[in-house]
Amino acid sequence: MRRWRTMAIVGGIALMTMCQQLAAQHAAIDPQAWAAYKAKFLDANGRIVDNGNDNISHSEGQGYGLLLAYLSNSPADFEQIWYFTRTELLLRDDGLAAWKWDPAVTPHVTDTNNASDGDMLIAYALALAGSAWNKNEYLEAAAMIAQALLSHAVVHAGGRTLLLPGIKGYTASERDDGPVVNPSYWVYEAIPVMALLAPSDEWQKLTDDGLSLLRSMQVGPRKLPADWVSLRTKPRPADGFEAEFGYNAIRIPLYLARAGIPDQALLTRLQAGMTFEGDEPATIDLATGNPKQPLTDPGYRIVNDVVACVTTGAKLPASVRQFVPSLYYPSTLQLLGLAFVEEKHPECL
């Protein structure tokens, strides 16, 4: 039974990822850029270090690290990151990863709740690598995580199919303003692969309802979504969180572009809303529309440049094509942006 299941997964993923395999075999990420990223953020144990957040590691970072290792065509690095992930984070009894690992305390896992975007990124990268490199054990692990997400994190509320940010703490029974979602947790490029790993119509509904929500989330004068959104009634910024388009939401346009979602109106609205002083992105106070924190790192600025590439064919400026790692999060976004343009829009380079 297991062998049949693995063969079915291999066949399904292979069809979907033919282009990605070719890109990975030729390394969509420049080897020098990947070497610089590893030197800055990947430790000897295989954990991706978030140097902007007290040097913790988390399931999101491990998922991103796996995906970047795949896009760099680096099987040994991928296995190193996967070893830490499976031995240090995949400790829950439901098949999902604990989200936080802190080197400063013992035990290192200080919060056993999951982060559903991290789980999805891990499963997605495992599926791509397992297909490209003929590693059935990666495909089996990916299928288990995808099924766990479907069983525990994909839920129905208010006539919508939603992705809970974590299993605990976000439902209507747990919060007065629940359910609460984070629209940046929808990794749109990964969802079709989840549907191959754990077949269900719910995945397509998750994509459709996520996009519908994004189109409806037009808060304040800049018409932007909040990082954390209450869906108790109509979408609004969730209680207890900053009412802002913040560091979470900045990646939404990149996710839309990488997934090939052809909604130019949505992309340009997000781009315009998060930009000030010409082409500088910022976190935005939703009530006033005023910028809160300029996002000057190339890893943030590349999000606008990727949107300009896919909507108008504009070339990426030299300032974002050069990769010099700084903080974990923008550096990760920059490599994801560069890999996407290298694979799908080389005319923008």
Q: Is 215 helix (H, G, I), strand (E, B) or coil?
A: helix
Rg (CA), the chain: 19
Q: Which among 65, 138, 69, 62 is positioned nearest to 101, based on CA atoms?
A: 62
Find the catalytic residue in 60, 88, 119, 305: 60
Three state DSSP letters for 107-171 = CCEEECCCCHHHHHHHHHHHHHHHHHCCCHHHHHHHHHHHHHHHHHCEEEECCEEEECCCCCCCC
From 128, 159, 142, select the one nearest 13 (Cα to Cα). 128
d(CA 343, CA 31): 15
The SS3 call for residue 54 is coil
Three-state SS at 254? helix
How many residues are present in the chain? 349
Q: Does residue 340 contact residue 257 with C-beta atoms inside 8 Å?
A: yes
Three-class secondary structure of residue 237 per DSSP: strand
117 is catalytic: yes
The question of whether 347 is a catalytic residue gets the answer no
The active-site residue out of 88, 117, 189, 343 is: 117
Q: Which residues are catalytic?
A: 60, 117
